[in-house]
Amino acid sequence: MKQRILALLLALVAALALVPAVSGSASAAAPVQVTVDGRAVAFSSDLGYPYVDNSSRTMVPFRAVANFMPGVRVEWSNDLREAIFLMDEAPVESLNGKPGYVSVSFNFPIGANYFWEFAQVGAADGSWTDSFIRYWPMDTAAVVKGGRTYAPIRYLAEAFNYTVGWSNSTKTVTITNPHQQYWGAYFLQAEQARGTTRVTSDAVAKRYAQEVVRMTRHDNKVSYQGKATKNGQSVWMFRYHYTYRGTAVYDEFYVTPGGNIYYRTGGSGNYTKWW
């Protein structure tokens, strides 16, 4: 009799132990979904699947989401280990009274608790251009997981001036572009409201210099030379090293607090505005 009772108790304990295990497993396996302008983003084993990280941020594989954002493409900088979202030459109806455009990139350094933006605006006829940068702090970081790059979807969407929602019951992130037809103009309005961050520190100046060299020269051999005074303002001095006809040479350039870059070849002659 005692053996039968013991056997029944053991069977009951085993059965009860299975209940929370099955329930917890089902809950943990509930997939996170993402929609962009009402369309469900298609995730797969090739593209990767979204998940919630330790900071309670929904992390999404870059390329899967970029496929659903019109005009957006994604690139990878192996030198700087940055994943980059780009929007090229979105039209703006009027800039200084002329048709214009805005191009923007959002750069997510892997493992960093920030991402940064580089934007260029100008007249469509090329008569003038301007550029600026912005740094966005985050409470999490972009990561590489399983050979794929993941970033927090809320930060990315809000940087593009999209609206973001979350349904806890369906575990769905909803992303909506409220100004699809005139995205460029509304993006610039949002930037003005946010107050664009110009160059404010050695670290920001160096990142800015690296990125401008990377975008224009497809390289990032930049060395920081310290602070100097040019035209009455304190600037950050750099050198860009490269090889010309088998000889190692460099261009000297500096970054102003306003985000402009002036350079001269070989450290001699007059400076010319580069960016």
Distance CA 12, CA 6 (A): 10
- What is the phi/psi pair of residue 184, to 5°? -60, -45
pLDDT score, position 7: 43
What is the distance between the alpha carbons of residues 211 and 132, in angstroms, rounded to a whole number?
12
- What is the mean pLDDT of the segment spanning 173-187? 89
From CA 83, how far away is CA 64, in angstroms rounded? Answer: 13
196: tokens are 């664009």
pLDDT at 8 over 70: no
pLDDT at 208 over 60: yes
Q: What is the pLDDT of residue 6?
A: 37
Q: Does the pLDDT at position 23 exceed 70?
A: no
Confidence of residue 143 (pLDDT cuts 50, 70, 90): very high
The secondary structure of residue 219, as a DSSP letter, is -
Which segment of 45-54, 129-138, 224-233 scores lowest on mean pLDDT?
129-138
Instruction: Please check the confidence at residue 10 and state whether its pLDDT lies above 60.
Output: no
pLDDT given for residue 3 in this prediction: 44
Per the model's pLDDT, the better-predicted residue between 207 and 265 turns out to be 265
Q: pLDDT band at 11, cuts 50/70/90?
A: very low
pLDDT tens, 108-132? 989 988 888 888 888 888 888 877 7
- Residues 155, 132: Cα–Cα separation, whole Å: 19
Is residue 22 predicted with pLDDT exceeding 70? no
Q: How far apart are CA 83 and CA 74, in angstroms?
A: 7
- Mean pLDDT (whole number) for 68-86: 87
Question: pTM, whole model, 2 decimals?
Answer: 0.68
CA 215 → CA 77, 109, 118, 123, distances in Å?
10, 16, 11, 20
CA-based R_g, the chain, Å: 25
Cβ atoms 86, 108 nearer than 8 A: no
Q: Return the sign of the alpha-carbon dihedral for residues 197, 200, 202, 203.
A: negative
Average pLDDT over residues 171-186: 89
> Which amino acid does the sequence have at 106?
F
- Cβ distance 273 to 260 under 8 Å? yes
How far apart are the C-alpha atoms of 148 and 49, rounded to whole Å?
10
Mean pLDDT lowest for which of 97-111, 112-126, 154-168?
A: 112-126
- pLDDT recorded at residue 17: 35
Is the separation of the CB atoms in 66 and 72 below 8 Å?
yes
Q: Residue 14 has what pLDDT?
A: 37
Highest mean pLDDT among 16-25, 43-52, 93-102 belongs to 43-52
